[in-house]
Amino acid sequence: MLVEDVEIDASIAARDIRRRLRFKRMPNLVQSQVRLLPESSEAGFLRPDTGSLIQPYLLPMAAALSLNAPSIDESFRSGSPPCILCLGVGGGALLTSLRSHFGFHVLGIEADDAVLSVATRHFGLAKDESLQLLTCDGIELIAGYAQERPPSRLFHAIMVDLDGEDPMKGAIAPTAEFLHRSVLLGAKLALHEHGILVINVISSGEAFYKRMIKLFRKFFCELYQIQVGNGENRVLVAAVSPVGFVAEELKQQGHLYEKLKELGCERFIDAIEKV
């Protein structure tokens, strides 16, 4: 793994310095990044800004939560914070935002303990009673829900950020191992009745994406997508039950929508389209 601090544009008045994480197996792909801010107590010392999502596809992934906003808001009102499962931790920016900005209970699953160590030491990820971290095979964990009756824990959302490498075509997400029937069935069973599966997609071509869509339709009621706008990523959202588009009045009144707006997700909420 490589952790690097880079200045994005030295010509602007306010410096934009970011800390990035890359894996040696895919050196051209930025796995995670956070903005660095001056530490007021120590001149010249920079600290990770854990309150922002600057990796291009993370805001769209957060925006997907608007699809089941009424269910999430109801859970908060009942005094039971919704739970979100994150497969793939990276630098932990999404997990930290879900916990700190929204108030979710978050379970992060990472197969490589070294990644969790880097996220904790260099990217500001910190676990507590609302943010738990486990080192295990997340795909096996999800597939296990297909064998478990009833599930020990239901999630309002499962966020999947798992990438691999195609020898011929480069980076691809999600990994081929995730696209198994047992895994998708397990994901569906692990979700709340109004839950959603949110996936970062890097496709090797439209044929790959169309095969994904065809497979997901066999397990989920509705599919939505969000174009990230960087020419590489898109976000696929699979819903357990019909969600439709949240009524405008609910968006304006709901607690979750206000939190999404504060984070800068509005344009991606508007970009959600049914597949």
Question: Does 180 fall in a domain?
Answer: yes
Are 44 and 66 in the same domain? no
Question: Does 74 fall in a domain?
Answer: yes
Whole-angstrom distance, CA of residue 106 vs CA of residue 83:
6
Question: Does 30 fall in a domain?
Answer: yes
Are 134 and 262 in the same domain? yes
Question: Does 91 fall in a domain?
Answer: yes
Sheet with 26-38: list strands edge to edge. Answer: 2-7, 17-23, 26-38, 46-48
Burial class (CB in 10 A: 0-12, 13-18, 19+), 147: exposed
Question: Does 195 fall in a domain?
Answer: yes
Are 41 and 67 in the same domain? no
Are 154 and 190 in the same domain? yes
Model pLDDT, residue 223: 97
- pTM score of the predicted model: 0.92
Which residues lie across from 7 on neighbouring strands?
Answer: 17
Whole-angstrom distance, CA of residue 85 vs CA of residue 107:
5
Domain hosting 108: range is 58-274
- pLDDT tens, the chain, 275 aa long: 899 999 887 665 667 899 999 988 788 888 899 999 887 666 668 899 987 899 999 999 999 999 999 999 999 999 999 999 999 999 999 999 999 999 999 999 999 999 999 999 999 999 999 999 999 999 999 999 888 766 667 999 999 999 887 656 678 899 999 999 999 999 999 999 999 999 999 987 888 899 999 999 999 999 999 999 988 999 999 999 998 655 555 556 789 999 999 999 999 999 999 99
Whole-angstrom distance, CA of residue 36 vs CA of residue 47:
5
Model pLDDT, residue 150: 61
Question: Does 268 fall in a domain?
Answer: yes
- Tokens standing for residue 96: 């930290």
Question: Does 7 fall in a domain?
Answer: yes
Which residues lie across from 274 on neighbouring strands?
Answer: 224
Is residue 85 within 8 A of residue 95, CB to CB? The reply is no
User: The domain that contains 228 carries what CATH number?
Assistant: 3.40.50.150
Are 139 and 230 in the same domain? yes
DSSP state string for 102-116: I--EEEEEES-HHHH
Are 200 and 86 in the same domain? yes
Are 266 and 235 in the same domain? yes
Are 28 and 79 in the same domain? no
Relative to beta strand 155-160, strand 83-87 is parallel
Are 19 and 116 in the same domain? no
Q: What are phi and psi of 145, to 5 degrees?
A: -65, -25
Question: Does 53 fall in a domain?
Answer: no
Q: Select from 198, 169, 165 the least CA-distant residue to 26.
A: 165
Which of 11, 26, 48 is the C-terminal boundary of a domain? 48
Burial class (CB in 10 A: 0-12, 13-18, 19+), 139: buried
The CA angle 195-196-197, to the nearest 5 degrees, is 135
Long-range contacts, stretch 142-147, CB < 8 angstroms, 24+ apart: 142/87, 142/183, 142/186, 142/187, 142/190, 143/180, 143/182, 143/183, 143/186, 144/186, 145/185, 145/186, 145/187, 145/189, 145/190, 146/182, 146/185, 146/186, 146/189
Are 213 and 262 in the same domain? yes
Give the total number of structural domains in the chain. 2
Are 133 and 256 in the same domain? yes
Is residue 236 within 8 A of residue 225, CB to CB? The reply is yes
Are 156 and 98 in the same domain? yes
